[in-house]
Chains A and B, each alone.
Chain A
Amino acid sequence: METDVLIIGAGPAGLAAAFEAGSRGLDVVMIDESSRLGGQLSQQTQMVSMLPSQYPPMKGFELAKLLINQLHDFPVKILLNHPFIGLYQDGSIGVSDGKNVFPISAKKVIVTTGAAERAIPFLKWTMPGVMTIGAAQTLVNRDFVVPGKKAVIFGSSDFALDVAIQLKQVGVEIEGIIEESTKLTAQNMDKINLIKQASIPIYLNSFIKEVGGNGQVEEVYVQQDQEVKTFHADLVCVDGGRKPITEVFYQLDCSFSYQEKLGGWIPQYNERLQSSQEGVYLGGNAAGISFHGSILLTGIIAGISVCEDLGVLEADEANSLRDSLFKEIKIIESKQDDHLWLERMTHIENFLHPKLKNQFIS
C-alpha cells in the first residue's frame, strides 16, 4: 500500500492531523490498533477542558464525533484493528491486519500514539479488582460494565475526580479518595465541589499499604499517620499519572530526551513537530503529556508541517499558521502550569542535543 501520509494512532491528535492533510488533498492512511476511532476520547463523558478557541466547550465523546465527522469528505483511508509492527529496511512501515503483516510506504509518517497510565505498586496490587482509573472509566463508559460495588480511589487529579463522579453515577459507592500529599492535586474547583457535594470522603496524607481478599480485592488497608484504616471495597482505582507511548518512535530510531513535566522520556521534535527522523512527525500526548487543547494543536501543527513538506501548503502560510497555533498552546499550557510550557520550549530548544539516539547501534 502506498500513500502520501501515514498516521499511526487515530485519537484526537491523529484525527486533527488527518484533517489538515486530507483537506488539502493529500492521500492519508490512518491506522489504529483499537476497533474504533477517537482514542480515549470515546469514553470521556466529562467536559473536556482547555480546548482551542475555535471549539465550544463539549464532552470528550462529542469532540471525537466532531473530529471524525470532519474527515468524511476527504480521502482518508482508515484501518482499524491494525497495529504497528515495525519498520522495513526500505523505510516502509509494517502493519498487521491480524492475519498478515504488510508494508505501507508513505512519504511522511505522523505518529500520534498518545499516552499510557502509570501503575502504583503496593502489596498485592496485582490482585483482581485493582485497576487504573482510566481502565475503570473504559469499563463503565465504553463496555458498559460496572467494575465493582464499593471503590477506593488512590490519587486525586482532575481526571480521578471525574471518574469518581462517573462511577458514583452508575451506582458504585466511593468509600474514599486517598491522596498521598497534603492537598488534592486536582485544580478544577467545580470538580472538587462536586466531590464534596456527593459527600465522598477524602483522606489526605494517606496511602494504600496493602489490599486483601480471597482471589479478589475485599479489603483495602490505608496508612494514615500512624494508624492503618481498613476499607471494605472490591475495587481500587489507581491514578499514577500518564506517560507518552514511545515504542513506535523507538522502532523508528527517533532520538529522545527526558522532560519530567512532559511525562518523562519523549521523542525529540522541533517547532515543526518533526522528529529527528526527517519523514517522521508527531503530535498529541506522545509529544508530551498535556491538555486536550495542546493535543489537538500539536496534531494540527504536525499536519501542517507535512502539508508544507509535500508542497500543498506555502511556507509562509505554514509558518504563520504554526506561529498562531503555538501561541494558543502557550496560552493553554501556561494558564494551567507555567512549567509545562517552559519544559516544552526547553525540549524544542534541545532538539539537536538528544539524550538518547541511535539506540539500535550499541
Chain B
Amino acid sequence: MDKDTIICRCEELSFEEIEEVICLGAESFDDIKRITRCGMGPCQAKICADLVSKMIHEQTGKIYEEIPMPRMRMPVSPISIETLSTNSQHFSTVKSVLDEVELEDGKVR
C-alpha cells in the first residue's frame, strides 16, 4: 500500500505514521491510539480498527486473535455533554471512562 494512504480518516493518519508506531513496538490498536490519536475522532475507531489490525498482522506476523479489539468506551457514538449529563442527580452516572478512576465511597460515580 502507498505510504500516503489515509488509514484513520477522522484524525487523518497515514499508513506511514501508523507503520512507524508499529515499528516502535505497538502490538495493539490501543498502543497505536495512545501515541497517534488513531481512532479518537467522530467515528470512534469504527472504520480504522480493522485496517489497523490488518497492518499489525502484516507487519508483525501476529495472528488476528492475538490482536485485541480496541477499547470501546461509552458513549459509543457522539452525544452532547448536555444530553449525557442530564438526570445525573437521580441515577448513578452511566458506566464511563470514570470507572477507571477511584472515587470515595458513597459519592456518585
Interface set of A (CB-CB < 8 Å, partner B): 33, 83-90, 92, 94, 96, 98-103, 116, 118-119, 121-123, 125-126, 209-210, 243, 246-248, 250-251, 256-258, 260, 264-265, 355-356, 359-360
Tell me which residues across on chain B come within 8 A of A359, comparing CB atoms: 69, 71
Cβ of B77 to closest chain A Cβ, rounded Å: 6
A102, B47: Cα distance in complex, Å: 28
Q: Does A243 contact B50, Cβ atoms closer than 8 Å?
A: yes
Q: Decide if B51 touches A121 in the complex (CB within 8 Å).
A: yes
User: Nearest CB to that of A210 among chain B residues?
Assistant: B2
Q: Does B92 contact A (CB under 8 A)?
A: yes
Nearest chain A CB to B95's CB is how many angstroms away? 5
Assess the A257–B84 pair: CB atoms within 8 A: no
In angstroms, how far is the closest chain A Cβ from the Cβ of B89? 12
Residues of A within 8 A of B83 (CB): 96, 98-101
The answer to whether A250 and B72 touch (CB under 8 A), given A89-B109, A103-B91, A264-B64, is yes
| Seed contacts A88-B91, A248-B76, A356-B69; 10 additional CB < 8 Å A-B pairs | A85-B84, A86-B95, A89-B95, A94-B94, A100-B87, A119-B51, A122-B1, A123-B2, A250-B69, A264-B64
Cβ of B7 under 8 Å from chain A: yes
Among the interface residues A33, A101, A125, which one has the most CB atoms of the partner chain B within 10 A? A101
Binary interface encoding of chain B residues 45-81 relative to chain A, with 1 for a CB under 8 A from any of its CBs, else 0: 0111011000000000000110011011011110100
Instruction: Give Cα A119 to B48, complex, Å.
Output: 8
The one of B4, B77, B87, B92 in contact with A101, judged by C-beta atoms closer than 8 angstroms, is B87
A88 touching B94 by the CB < 8 A rule?
A: yes
Q: Are B74 and A251 neighbours in the complex by a CB distance under 8 Å?
A: yes
Task: Return chain A residues, CB-CB under 8 Å to B47.
Answer: 119
B102, CB-defined interface residue at 8 Å: no
Find out whether the CB atom of A88 lies under 8 angstroms from the CB atom of B92.
yes
Which of B1, B75, B79 is the most central at the interface, judged by chain A CB atoms within 10 Å of its CB? B75
B1-29 Cβ-contact flags toward A at 8 Å (1 or 0): 11011110100000100000000000000
Residue in A86, A116, A123, A355 whose beta carbon sits within 8 Å of that of B5 in the complex: A123
Most central of B7, B9, B86, B91 by chain A CB within 10 Å: B91
Count B-side interface residues using an 8 Å CB cutoff. Answer: 37
Q: Are B51's CB and A85's CB within 8 A?
A: no
- Which chain B residues lie closer than 8 Å to A116 at the CB level? 46
Contact between chains at A85 and B94 (CB < 8 Å): yes
Residue pair B64, A251 in contact (C-beta under 8 Å): no
List the B side residues contacting A92 at CB < 8 Å.
Answer: 91
**With an 8 A cutoff between CB atoms, is B99 at the interface?**
yes
- Please state if B65 and A355 are interface contacts (CB–CB under 8 Å): yes
- Which residue of B has the minimal Cβ distance to A356? B68
State the CA gap A118–B86 with chains docked (Å): 34
Q: A86-B96, A243-B50, A258-B64 are in contact. Are A100 and B5 (CB under 8 A)?
A: no
Q: How far is the CB of A116 from chain B (nearest CB, A)?
A: 6
Chain B residues near A119: list those with CB within 8 A: 47-48, 50-51
Question: 7 tightest CB-CB pairs across the interface, nearest first?
Answer: A86-B74, A258-B65, A86-B94, A247-B76, A250-B72, A94-B94, A100-B86
> Which residue of chain B is the closest to A89 with respect to CB atoms?
B92
Q: Is the CB of B94 within 8 A of A121?
A: no
Provide the bound-state CA to CA distance between A89 and B109, in Å: 9
User: In the complex, A171 Cα to B84 Cα: how many Å?
Assistant: 44
How many Å lie between the Cα of A349 and that of B2 in the bound state?
41
Closest to B72 in A: A250
B95-A88 in contact (CB<8A): yes
